[in-house]
Amino acid sequence: MTKRGMLLYGFLAIAMTLPAQVTITASAPKVVEAGEEITLTYTMNAEPSEFRAPNLSAFTILAGPSRSSSSSISIINGRISQSVTITYTYVLQANQEGKYTIDPARITVDGKTYYSNSLTIEVVGSSHASTSTPKPQQPGESSSRQEDNIPDEKVFLKVIVDKTSLYQGECLTATVKFYSQLNVNDLGNLQLPRFNGVYSQEIETPQIRLNRENINGKIYLTGVIKQYYLFFQQSGEIVIEPFSLDAVVALKAGTRPRTPFDDFWGFEPEPVYQWVKKTVKSKPLKISVKPLPAGAPASFKGAVGNYSFKAMLDKNKVKTNEAITLKAIVNGTGNIKLIEPVEPKIPADFEAFDPKTNLTLKGITGNKTFEYVMIPRSAGTFTIPSLEFAYFDPQSRQYKILRSEDFTITVEKGKDDESSKGGVYVASSRNDIKYLGKDILFIKPGPVPAVREGQWFFGSKSFYLTYIFSVLATGIFIVLMRKQIAENANIARQRTRRASRQAKKRLMMAGKYLKQNQKEMFYEEVLKALWGYVSDKFNIPAADLSREKIKDILQNKGISAEDIESLTHLLDVCELARYAPAAAPENLQEIFEQAENVINRYEAQVIKTTS
């Protein structure tokens, strides 16, 4: 390709990447003092064939319009793009107080007309305080002024709230705002109060930018320092303690010495400013928090705001030992982060795990989802009654109750159904031992033997034979029991000694499944290792291996509460992973290491307590 062709290609590419939307933006200070210079700027992203300013007769035009332009070309992934910025600037002056509206400016680009935004400028009376950029002392010069020389009304901090009276649990928005009539060089060392009895949620705020604002006819530089959502957890008169920060502001220190040129030309000497640090504090703010009305429904758990509620079941026809997920979703605005899980009435034949909570939040609006994983252990048709969510609506000042539908679940027998064996099933979580396949024992039918009157058993031959036989049987029983106790002691001792070795063998097998990525077999072996270790090490029968039972036994054996919690948490995770693979953690290696650490810590504690 020739050089001319390359240039033509480049210009064509640039032409194709001109802005799809032409914009023009007007900007100027919102508040100025009478007689102060005003800089009015119009910025556009395309070269106009015509620029027409609005009527500016309400102002004195000191300069303008002055035009400036800039452009840039960038190449990203072979794509050439160009950006153009054109600026028209006016310097104005308003001598009369009041509010002035500047109508939109107009430009023409490629035959189309575009308009800017309009502006409103408020002009207030002139004051001696200056918010223009001062000329500070030269570096190295020290300030002789103290912060006491700066009146509090010129520089202060204020907490602004959207309400001063509200219900317990209702949201209050608090804004910490800085005000200064003096030019500001730096803000720092922000000190926050303790929100006692208040749940605080910080609102993300942009970097501090000071803007002009008219406060009672005076111009202040203002900026938002912090913003919070506050939820008061107790009723009564609550005080928001002061915030504080250090502000470095420009304080007039005098004027520069007069020179002969000042006298000759009639100039007034320029003022000299010094940077002074002043610590400003907001005033304590009293908030009246009303208690919630009496008569709260039984399902109310402190939710305050405006909410919707729904519940859903992922499937209503399963087999025994298959996991079911029930979701309860709360959506709305209020203290949603503090909402506690709803409590479904799960059938006794279901094993339930602690709910998993997911929160999506923007400000104080969002949704909170509670997922309940349940595993049916016996066949049949079961009903989960309607879920109920209650909240207090501060707008209507009433409690409201939202309900879901009832859920009917059909459970068929699976291949591993324990109930079909007619034996004892020991729940691995919160359920008590259940006897399946048994019912009421009937009274034995048949005649009742009668004894002839006058025939006494005491003192008869049968009495003495029975007595002798009982003594002999008791002696034999005692001998056999002592022998059995000795044998059991030996067996228990052997089980205790081999507990760690057997657990490590099972963990080695789990490690093989880990390398083969056989998740179900991995979790099964880890469960066998943990349950088997506890059973063997502490001589607990397999039928008694429930969480409540082992917690009591481990506490009596001197195992720390932290290690007991680690074991039960690990058992929950593995059992949830077996029956609900979708909710299983992805990092199998971490589960494997946790199991090894639990067994090693238990071994160390048992050795320490026995030595």
Strand 165-167 with 285-290, pairing = parallel
Q: Is the pLDDT of residue 14 over 70?
A: no
Q: Which pLDDT score, from 0 to 100, does residue 445 have?
A: 63
Of 152-156, 303-307, 565-569, which range is least confident?
Answer: 565-569
307-412 in CATH: which number?
Answer: 2.60.40.10
Confidence of residue 181 (pLDDT cuts 50, 70, 90): confident
In the predicted model, what is the mean pLDDT of residues 398-422?
79
H-type alpha helices, 440-460: none
- The CA distance from 308 to 574, in Å, is 34
- % residues pLDDT > 70 (the chain): 77
Residue 468's SS3 state is: helix
Compute how many other C-beta atoms are within 10 angstroms of the C-beta atom of residue 212: 16
Token digits for 398?
């009433």
Q: Is the pLDDT of residue 330 over 90?
A: yes
Strand partners, 436: none
Class at the top of the CATH hierarchy for domain 3-124: mainly beta
Confidence of residue 509 (pLDDT cuts 50, 70, 90): confident
Q: Which pLDDT score, from 0 to 100, does residue 21 have?
A: 85
Residue-averaged pLDDT of the chain? 79
Q: Is the pLDDT of residue 222 over 70?
A: yes
- The CA distance from 290 to 165, in Å, is 7
In the predicted model, what is the mean pLDDT of residues 495-512?
79
- The CA distance from 495 to 485, in Å, is 15
DSSP assignment of 318-343 = EETT--EEEEEEEEEEESGGGPPPP-
Indicate the Cα dihedral angle 550, 552, 557, 558, nearest 10°.
Answer: 120
Contact residues for 454 (Cβ-Cβ < 8 A; gap 6+): none
- The CA distance from 553 to 544, in Å, is 11
Assign a CATH topology to domain 483-610.
Four Helix Bundle (Hemerythrin (Met), subunit A) (1.20.120)
DSSP assignment of 280-307 = EEPPPEEEEEEPPPS---TTEEEEEEEE
Q: What is the pLDDT of residues 527-545, one digit of tens each?
A: 888 888 888 777 777 666 6
In the predicted model, what is the mean pLDDT of residues 202-218?
84
Q: Is the pLDDT of residue 472 over 80?
A: yes
Same fold, 3-124 and 307-412: yes
Compute how many other C-beta atoms are within 10 angstroms of the C-beta atom of residue 26: 20
Contact residues for 92 (Cβ-Cβ < 8 A; gap 6+): 37, 38, 39, 40, 56, 59, 60, 61, 62
Write the CA distances from 495 to 98, 498, 504, 550, 571, integer angstroms.
Answer: 94, 5, 14, 17, 21
Q: Is the pLDDT of residue 418 over 60?
A: no
* Domain positions in the chain: 3-124, 147-289, 307-412, 483-610
Residue 345's SS3 state is: coil
Of 116-125, 141-150, 363-372, which range is least confident?
Answer: 141-150
Token digits for 274?
């010094």
DSSP annotation of 533 reads H
Confidence of residue 403 (pLDDT cuts 50, 70, 90): very high
Higher pLDDT: 260 or 500? It is: 500
- The CA distance from 31 to 54, in Å, is 20
Strand partners, 457: none
Contact residues for 222 (Cβ-Cβ < 8 A; gap 6+): 177, 178, 179, 180, 210, 211, 212, 213, 215
Q: Is the pLDDT of residue 9 over 80?
A: no
Is the pTM higher than 0.95? no
- The CA distance from 38 to 184, in Å, is 20
What angle (nearest 5°) sits at the alpha carbon of residue 391, between those of residues 385 and 394? 160
Token digits for 533?
């270790």
Of 15-29, 215-229, 331-345, 485-499, which range is least confident?
Answer: 485-499
